[in-house]
Amino acid sequence: MKISVVYVVFNETEKLRKSLQSISNFAEEIVIIDIGSEPRVQDLSKEFRAKYQAHAFVPFVELIRDYSIAQTSGDWILIMDPDEELSESLKVKLREFAASNEYSVINIPRKNIFAGQWISHTNFWPDRQIRFFRRGAVSWPRIIHTYPKIEGEAYNLPAIESNALLHFGYDNFSQFLSRQRRYAKIEAQNLSTKGIRFSPLRLIWQPTREFLVRFIKHRGYLDGWWGIGLVLGLMYYRILVELHLYSLSEQK
Protein backbone atom coordinates (compact mmCIF):
# COMPACT_ATOMS: atom_id res chain seq x y z
CA MET A 1 0.00 0.00 0.00
CA LYS A 2 1.58 3.23 -1.21
CA ILE A 3 0.33 6.72 -0.33
CA SER A 4 1.05 9.74 -2.52
CA VAL A 5 0.55 13.41 -1.60
CA VAL A 6 0.11 15.95 -4.38
CA TYR A 7 0.26 19.76 -4.28
CA VAL A 8 -0.56 22.44 -6.83
CA VAL A 9 1.50 25.45 -5.79
CA PHE A 10 1.46 29.14 -6.63
CA ASN A 11 3.79 31.10 -4.31
CA GLU A 12 3.14 30.61 -0.56
CA THR A 13 6.56 29.03 -0.07
CA GLU A 14 6.66 29.64 3.69
CA LYS A 15 3.32 27.93 4.19
CA LEU A 16 4.39 25.15 1.84
CA ARG A 17 7.41 24.39 4.03
CA LYS A 18 5.19 23.98 7.12
CA SER A 19 2.77 21.85 5.14
CA LEU A 20 5.57 19.56 3.92
CA GLN A 21 6.87 19.25 7.47
CA SER A 22 3.39 18.20 8.62
CA ILE A 23 3.24 15.25 6.21
CA SER A 24 6.60 13.80 7.22
CA ASN A 25 6.48 10.04 7.85
CA PHE A 26 3.08 9.84 6.17
CA ALA A 27 3.53 9.37 2.42
CA GLU A 28 5.87 7.33 0.27
CA GLU A 29 5.66 9.89 -2.54
CA ILE A 30 5.24 13.68 -2.72
CA VAL A 31 4.45 15.43 -6.01
CA ILE A 32 4.56 19.23 -6.41
CA ILE A 33 2.99 20.84 -9.48
CA ASP A 34 4.28 24.42 -9.71
CA ILE A 35 2.06 26.84 -11.66
CA GLY A 36 4.33 29.85 -11.41
CA SER A 37 5.90 30.19 -8.00
CA GLU A 38 9.14 31.56 -6.66
CA PRO A 39 12.32 29.57 -7.45
CA ARG A 40 12.41 28.46 -3.80
CA VAL A 41 9.64 25.93 -4.51
CA GLN A 42 12.10 23.87 -6.53
CA ASP A 43 14.58 24.04 -3.64
CA LEU A 44 11.88 22.89 -1.21
CA SER A 45 11.06 19.99 -3.51
CA LYS A 46 14.66 18.83 -3.34
CA GLU A 47 14.84 19.31 0.42
CA PHE A 48 11.75 17.16 1.02
CA ARG A 49 12.57 14.69 -1.78
CA ALA A 50 9.44 15.58 -3.72
CA LYS A 51 8.91 15.13 -7.44
CA TYR A 52 8.82 18.62 -8.97
CA GLN A 53 7.03 19.60 -12.16
CA ALA A 54 6.57 23.08 -13.64
CA HIS A 55 3.20 23.78 -15.26
CA ALA A 56 1.66 26.75 -17.05
CA PHE A 57 -0.38 29.06 -14.82
CA VAL A 58 -4.08 28.23 -14.39
CA PRO A 59 -6.55 30.64 -12.73
CA PHE A 60 -8.07 27.96 -10.47
CA VAL A 61 -6.87 24.56 -9.38
CA GLU A 62 -9.84 22.46 -10.54
CA LEU A 63 -8.60 22.90 -14.09
CA ILE A 64 -5.66 20.58 -13.37
CA ARG A 65 -6.88 18.47 -10.44
CA ASP A 66 -7.14 15.33 -12.57
CA TYR A 67 -3.82 16.08 -14.25
CA SER A 68 -2.04 16.50 -10.91
CA ILE A 69 -3.50 13.24 -9.59
CA ALA A 70 -2.29 11.45 -12.74
CA GLN A 71 1.31 12.44 -11.90
CA THR A 72 1.23 10.30 -8.75
CA SER A 73 1.82 6.54 -8.50
CA GLY A 74 0.29 5.70 -5.12
CA ASP A 75 -2.59 3.34 -4.38
CA TRP A 76 -4.07 6.11 -2.22
CA ILE A 77 -3.77 9.84 -2.92
CA LEU A 78 -3.99 12.81 -0.57
CA ILE A 79 -4.52 16.25 -2.12
CA MET A 80 -3.00 19.08 -0.11
CA ASP A 81 -2.92 22.84 -0.64
CA PRO A 82 0.27 24.65 0.42
CA ASP A 83 -1.63 26.45 3.20
CA GLU A 84 -2.88 23.21 4.78
CA GLU A 85 -1.32 20.93 7.41
CA LEU A 86 -1.95 17.41 8.68
CA SER A 87 -2.26 16.75 12.39
CA GLU A 88 -0.65 13.64 13.88
CA SER A 89 -4.06 12.20 14.77
CA LEU A 90 -5.36 12.65 11.22
CA LYS A 91 -2.27 10.98 9.75
CA VAL A 92 -2.90 7.91 11.88
CA LYS A 93 -6.57 7.73 10.87
CA LEU A 94 -5.91 8.12 7.15
CA ARG A 95 -3.28 5.40 7.18
CA GLU A 96 -5.74 3.10 8.94
CA PHE A 97 -8.38 3.76 6.26
CA ALA A 98 -5.88 3.09 3.48
CA ALA A 99 -4.78 -0.17 5.11
CA SER A 100 -8.34 -1.44 5.63
CA ASN A 101 -9.40 -0.52 2.06
CA GLU A 102 -13.03 -0.58 3.25
CA TYR A 103 -13.92 2.77 1.66
CA SER A 104 -12.91 4.39 -1.62
CA VAL A 105 -13.11 8.02 -0.46
CA ILE A 106 -12.62 9.79 2.87
CA ASN A 107 -14.49 13.07 3.35
CA ILE A 108 -12.37 15.13 5.76
CA PRO A 109 -13.57 18.07 7.91
CA ARG A 110 -11.38 21.15 7.50
CA LYS A 111 -10.56 23.60 10.28
CA ASN A 112 -10.20 27.10 8.81
CA ILE A 113 -7.79 29.28 10.78
CA PHE A 114 -7.62 32.86 9.52
CA ALA A 115 -5.09 35.26 11.08
CA GLY A 116 -4.73 32.84 14.00
CA GLN A 117 -8.47 32.49 14.69
CA TRP A 118 -10.48 29.33 14.16
CA ILE A 119 -13.61 30.21 12.19
CA SER A 120 -15.90 27.68 13.85
CA HIS A 121 -19.18 29.16 12.61
CA THR A 122 -20.18 31.28 9.55
CA ASN A 123 -20.60 27.98 7.59
CA PHE A 124 -16.80 27.50 7.61
CA TRP A 125 -17.01 24.40 9.80
CA PRO A 126 -16.88 21.47 9.21
CA ASP A 127 -16.13 22.55 5.59
CA ARG A 128 -15.80 18.93 4.38
CA GLN A 129 -13.25 18.17 1.67
CA ILE A 130 -12.81 15.14 -0.60
CA ARG A 131 -9.04 14.88 -0.33
CA PHE A 132 -8.09 11.27 0.44
CA PHE A 133 -9.12 8.51 -1.93
CA ARG A 134 -8.19 5.29 -3.65
CA ARG A 135 -6.70 5.69 -7.13
CA GLY A 136 -9.41 5.95 -9.76
CA ALA A 137 -12.17 6.75 -7.25
CA VAL A 138 -12.57 10.46 -8.08
CA SER A 139 -12.58 12.78 -11.08
CA TRP A 140 -12.86 16.54 -10.94
CA PRO A 141 -15.09 18.74 -13.13
CA ARG A 142 -13.14 21.69 -14.54
CA ILE A 143 -15.36 24.12 -12.62
CA ILE A 144 -14.29 26.33 -9.74
CA HIS A 145 -15.28 25.30 -6.18
CA THR A 146 -16.82 21.96 -7.18
CA TYR A 147 -16.76 18.57 -5.50
CA PRO A 148 -15.45 15.62 -7.53
CA LYS A 149 -17.42 12.77 -9.02
CA ILE A 150 -17.00 9.68 -6.83
CA GLU A 151 -16.92 5.97 -7.57
CA GLY A 152 -17.30 3.61 -4.63
CA GLU A 153 -18.30 4.23 -1.03
CA ALA A 154 -17.36 7.42 0.82
CA TYR A 155 -16.87 7.77 4.56
CA ASN A 156 -17.53 11.04 6.38
CA LEU A 157 -15.01 11.52 9.16
CA PRO A 158 -16.83 12.83 12.26
CA ALA A 159 -16.55 16.60 12.59
CA ILE A 160 -14.24 16.80 15.59
CA GLU A 161 -10.98 18.72 15.85
CA SER A 162 -8.74 15.65 15.98
CA ASN A 163 -10.06 14.61 12.54
CA ALA A 164 -9.60 18.01 10.92
CA LEU A 165 -7.34 19.10 8.10
CA LEU A 166 -5.80 22.40 9.24
CA HIS A 167 -6.23 25.28 6.80
CA PHE A 168 -4.29 28.54 7.33
CA GLY A 169 -6.01 30.33 4.49
CA TYR A 170 -5.77 34.08 5.09
CA ASP A 171 -3.28 36.11 7.09
CA ASN A 172 -5.44 39.23 6.84
CA PHE A 173 -8.77 40.42 5.47
CA SER A 174 -7.14 42.06 2.45
CA GLN A 175 -5.99 38.63 1.20
CA PHE A 176 -9.54 37.34 1.55
CA LEU A 177 -11.05 40.18 -0.49
CA SER A 178 -8.36 39.91 -3.15
CA ARG A 179 -9.16 36.24 -3.72
CA GLN A 180 -12.92 36.88 -3.86
CA ARG A 181 -12.42 39.54 -6.53
CA ARG A 182 -10.38 37.08 -8.60
CA TYR A 183 -12.86 34.23 -8.25
CA ALA A 184 -15.98 36.34 -8.92
CA LYS A 185 -15.28 36.75 -12.63
CA ILE A 186 -14.54 33.04 -13.04
CA GLU A 187 -17.80 32.03 -11.36
CA ALA A 188 -19.76 34.49 -13.51
CA GLN A 189 -18.26 32.93 -16.64
CA ASN A 190 -19.25 29.45 -15.42
CA LEU A 191 -22.82 30.61 -14.72
CA SER A 192 -23.04 32.25 -18.14
CA THR A 193 -21.85 29.03 -19.80
CA LYS A 194 -24.71 27.21 -18.04
CA GLY A 195 -27.18 29.70 -19.54
CA ILE A 196 -27.79 31.70 -16.36
CA ARG A 197 -28.40 35.38 -17.04
CA PHE A 198 -28.31 38.49 -14.89
CA SER A 199 -31.54 39.66 -13.30
CA PRO A 200 -32.28 42.35 -10.68
CA LEU A 201 -33.83 39.64 -8.50
CA ARG A 202 -30.57 37.66 -8.50
CA LEU A 203 -28.63 40.81 -7.62
CA ILE A 204 -30.81 41.25 -4.52
CA TRP A 205 -31.32 37.62 -3.55
CA GLN A 206 -27.78 36.20 -3.84
CA PRO A 207 -26.08 38.50 -1.29
CA THR A 208 -29.19 38.40 0.92
CA ARG A 209 -29.10 34.60 0.94
CA GLU A 210 -25.40 34.72 1.87
CA PHE A 211 -26.28 36.85 4.90
CA LEU A 212 -29.19 34.64 5.97
CA VAL A 213 -27.22 31.41 5.67
CA ARG A 214 -23.90 32.50 7.15
CA PHE A 215 -24.80 35.17 9.69
CA ILE A 216 -28.21 33.92 10.89
CA LYS A 217 -28.43 30.15 10.26
CA HIS A 218 -24.72 29.44 10.93
CA ARG A 219 -24.36 32.17 13.57
CA GLY A 220 -21.51 34.08 11.97
CA TYR A 221 -21.68 36.67 14.75
CA LEU A 222 -20.10 34.09 17.10
CA ASP A 223 -16.85 34.39 15.11
CA GLY A 224 -16.57 38.03 16.16
CA TRP A 225 -15.15 40.62 13.79
CA TRP A 226 -13.83 37.94 11.47
CA GLY A 227 -17.32 36.46 11.22
CA ILE A 228 -18.86 39.83 10.40
CA GLY A 229 -16.10 40.60 7.89
CA LEU A 230 -16.39 37.23 6.17
CA VAL A 231 -20.15 37.57 5.80
CA LEU A 232 -19.84 41.10 4.37
CA GLY A 233 -16.98 39.99 2.12
CA LEU A 234 -18.99 37.07 0.75
CA MET A 235 -22.01 39.31 0.18
CA TYR A 236 -19.67 41.60 -1.77
CA TYR A 237 -18.45 38.55 -3.70
CA ARG A 238 -22.02 37.65 -4.69
CA ILE A 239 -22.65 41.21 -5.88
CA LEU A 240 -19.46 41.11 -7.97
CA VAL A 241 -20.50 37.79 -9.54
CA GLU A 242 -23.85 39.27 -10.56
CA LEU A 243 -22.24 42.42 -11.98
CA HIS A 244 -19.82 40.32 -14.04
CA LEU A 245 -22.81 38.24 -15.15
CA TYR A 246 -24.55 41.45 -16.20
CA SER A 247 -21.50 42.46 -18.23
CA LEU A 248 -21.41 39.06 -19.96
CA SER A 249 -25.14 39.23 -20.68
CA GLU A 250 -24.71 42.66 -22.25
CA GLN A 251 -21.89 41.40 -24.46
CA LYS A 252 -24.10 38.58 -25.74
Does 160 lie in the same domain as 73?
yes
- Burial group, residue 163, by CB count within 10 angstroms (0-12, 13-18, 19+): buried
Q: How much is the pLDDT for 153?
A: 94
Does 184 lie in the same domain as 78?
no
Task: Report whether the peptide linkage leading into residue 126 is cis, meaning its omega lies within 30 degrees of zero.
Answer: yes
Does 162 lie in the same domain as 236?
no
Cα distance between residue 194 and residue 86, in whole Å:
36
Does 159 lie in the same domain as 48?
yes
Does 62 lie in the same domain as 183?
no
Does 145 lie in the same domain as 129?
yes
Of 167, 197, 218, the residue that ends a domain is 167
Does 184 lie in the same domain as 160?
no
Dihedral angle computed from the Cα positions of residues 125, 25, 62 and 102, in that order, rounded to the nearest 10 degrees: -70
Q: How much is the pLDDT for 93?
A: 96
Task: Output the domain CATH number for residue 31.
Answer: 3.90.550.10
Q: How much is the pLDDT for 250?
A: 77
The count of structural domains within the chain is 2
Look at phi and psi of residue 54 and say left if phi exceeds 0, alpha if psi is from -120 to 50, else beta.
Answer: beta
pLDDT in tens, the chain (252 residues): 899 999 999 988 889 999 999 998 999 999 999 998 778 899 999 999 999 999 999 999 999 999 999 999 999 999 999 999 999 999 999 999 999 989 999 999 999 999 999 999 999 999 999 999 999 999 999 988 888 999 999 999 999 999 999 999 999 999 999 999 999 999 999 999 889 999 999 999 999 999 999 999 999 999 999 999 999 999 999 999 999 999 987 776
Does 158 lie in the same domain as 182?
no
Could you write out the three-class secondary structure of the chain? CCEEEEEEECCCHHHHHHHHHHCCCCCCEEEEEECCCCCHHHHHHHHCCCEEEECCCCCCHHHHHHHHHHCCCCCEEEEECCCEECCHHHHHHHHHHHHHCCCCEEEECEEEEECCEECCCCCCCCCCEEEEEECCCEECCCCCCCCCEECCCEEECCCCHHHCEEECCCCCHHHHHHHHHHHHHHHHHHHHHCCCCCCHHHHHHHHHHHHHHHHHHCCHHHHHHHHHHHHHHHHHHHHHHHHHHHHHHHHC
Does 226 lie in the same domain as 139?
no
Does 124 lie in the same domain as 10?
yes
Host domain of residue 185: 173-251
Q: How much is the pLDDT for 252?
A: 62
Q: How much is the pLDDT for 11?
A: 80
Cα distance between residue 227 and residue 113, in whole Å:
12
Does 218 lie in the same domain as 163?
no
What is the reported pTM?
0.92
Q: How much is the pLDDT for 146?
A: 87
Q: How far is CA 192 from CA 5, 63, 100, 157, 196, in A?
A: 34, 18, 44, 35, 5
